[in-house]
Every structure is written in structure tokens, then in C-alpha cells.
Amino acid sequence: MDKIKQVAIVGGVHGNEFSGIYLIKQYQAKPDLASRASFNTELVWANPEAHYANKRYLHSDLNRQFKNTDLANPRLANYEQSRAKVLNAQLGPKGDAKTDLLIDLHNTTSNMGACLILTQAGPFYNQLAAYVKMMMPEAIISRDEDHFAAEEHALMCTVGRYGVLVEVGPQPQSVLRQDVLELMDCMTQHILDFAELYNSNSLPALPKQTEAFRYLHSIKLPMNDKGERLGMVHKNVQDKDYQPINPGDPIFTLFDGTEIYYDGDTTVYPTFINEAAYYDNNLAMSLNEKVWITLD
């Protein structure tokens, strides 16, 4: 039977997302908080130099360095590319990992609350999602599992045999909010409890249907030919992560006052609205559809 024997909780993949870094410190001070009877837990601070520099990363985004081909490429040698290889050796190797479950802790500046992001599919994830949502109704389940095969996924969490992201906001970069830290701790504790119950085959009855949001694509801010921004996220959309955007709803305001309307055909649900870290790419938000996770 499938067992979770080794868990890794990873914080600080991004140096200016403080909650994971401090939650790891809290767990290091009281290791019982992060372990259960049926498994061991390793606590990992992924990117300390980026934190000391008070930046998301020094050379390149660590959470985009875990493709199999990149991990195997010795010429990729900058700080984060090197950290990825070290973390893969420590917690993986990806595809044959000593870590059964990897929990990667992140913050967003968007108003996303406590969000469990699943990047791979399968019955384990479906039960985990149903359990977390049942125990923590304010939790949001986000799915992005069918855009890549696991070996092509570049995310830290794909190093584990199972892996999830815990994404909590809103929190500005380089700030530590007590409420956000507590939400991250709460969701992490539920995931650890789930693994313990899963191991002993003693999960409670789980809901047959669990609401989730499935990633479709991201949209960019309005820009001119020179790559300059012409507008911003409409104030009606700001902070309204997971709230429906219908065809014809205002979505951007140009600096000259013009409103731009959503021109899609169906209702979509935005996430990562105005996320600061996506500044480089001029991303305005991610769009999702509402889906149901069904247990047999």
C-alpha cells in the first residue's frame, strides 16, 4: 500500500516571501509541530542568499529550475540553478525521490487567501484536496496539473514523489503578517494530518465533490509596441481573486481613462491579480475555470 514515509516542508524558495521562511524557523524550534508518528519531516530553507539580498532571487527564479533536462545540464550554474541541483540531490532525485510528499510554501501579493495548488493529478491529490477543503472551508483548491508532464514541470514541488504548493496572501513582498503566517501554518497542519490519516488508512468520510479552480491561461497588461504599459488592472477586479469575470466586464483601465472589457466567451475566475512578482512579464492575472474534484 502507498505510504508517506518522508515529508519535506520547503520555505523561502523566493527570498522576499517571508511566511515560509519564518514558518520553517518555527517548526525547527518545535519539530513536533511538523512531524507525525508515521513519517519523518525534513525542514528546508531553499534560497537563503535571495532572502539576505531581500529579493525574489539572485540570478533566476528558483521555482522554474526543476525540469529534468535543466537539472541534468551542468552548464546551468548560476546561484538558483545550483541550488536546484543541490535540493534535487537532497530531496529527490526527481522521478525517484526519497521525499514522498514535498510541501512548498509561498506568498502572493494577491488577495488569494490560503490556496492549495495541485500541479499533478491522481487519487492522492483528489483526497488531499477534499480533506483540506472539508477541514478548512476557507481554503481554495487550485489545479494546474494537465499542462505539463511531471518531468517537464519546472516547479520545486515536482521534486517529491507527491508535491503541492501552499500559496497564501495578500502579503507585500518583504513583509511578515501574523494573519498570513497563521493561515499558512493552518493549511500545512491539515496536509500533515492528511498524510498521517492516509498512512493508517483512517481518513474520515470525504465529500464526493470539492470545488476547485483550474488554470486556463494568463493575460498581460495592455502595452504599446515599445513594451510600455498603457494601463492597469481595473479597480473592480483588484482584490477579487476567484470572483467571476463575465464577458463584457471591465478588466483594465488605461491611463487615459479608457476602460477595457473582457472579451472572452465564458465566465472565468481570476487568480494572482496584480501579483508583484509577475512585474517582469507584465502579467495582469491568471484566468481559471471552476471545476469539481470528484471522489469515487
Applying CB under 8 A, which residues contact a copy of itself? 22, 25-26, 29, 54, 109, 170, 172-179, 181-182, 229, 232-235, 238, 253, 255-256, 274-277, 279-280
Where do we find the cell 479552480? 213
Nearest distance from residue 30's CB to a copy of itself, in Å?
A: 8
**Residue among 154, 115, 110, 160 at smallest CA distance from 10:** 160
- Contact between 268 and 289 under an 8 Å Cβ cutoff? The reply is yes
CA dihedral for 205, 290, 150, 45, sign (positive or negative): negative
Going by the DSSP 8-state scheme, the letter that residue 41 receives in this structure is E
Catalytic machinery residues = 167
How far the first Cα of the chain sits from its last, in Å, is 18
**Residue among 261, 263, 253, 259 at smallest CA distance from 232:** 253
Distance CA 12, CA 16 (A): 8
Give me the helices (H) in the chain, please.
18-29, 48-52, 68-71, 79-91, 123-135, 178-199
Closer to a copy of itself by Cβ: residue 92 or 170? 170
Closer to a copy of itself by Cβ: residue 150 or 254? 254
259 is in an annotated binding site: no
106 is in an annotated binding site: yes
Closer to a copy of itself by Cβ: residue 280 or 296? 280
Nearest distance from residue 277's CB to a copy of itself, in Å?
A: 8
Closer to a copy of itself by Cβ: residue 28 or 73? 28
- Total residues belonging to the chain: 296
Nearest distance from residue 102's CB to a copy of itself, in Å?
A: 24
Closer to a copy of itself by Cβ: residue 26 or 60? 26
Nearest distance from residue 172's CB to a copy of itself, in Å?
A: 4
Q: Is 9 helix (H, G, I), strand (E, B) or coil?
A: strand
Nearest distance from residue 148's CB to a copy of itself, in Å?
A: 27
49 is in an annotated binding site: no
Q: Is 206 exposed, middle or buried (0-12, 13-18, 19+ CB in 10 A)?
A: middle
Q: Can you say which residues are annotated as belonging to the binding site?
A: 14, 17, 106
Annotated binding site for Zn(2+): 14, 17, 106
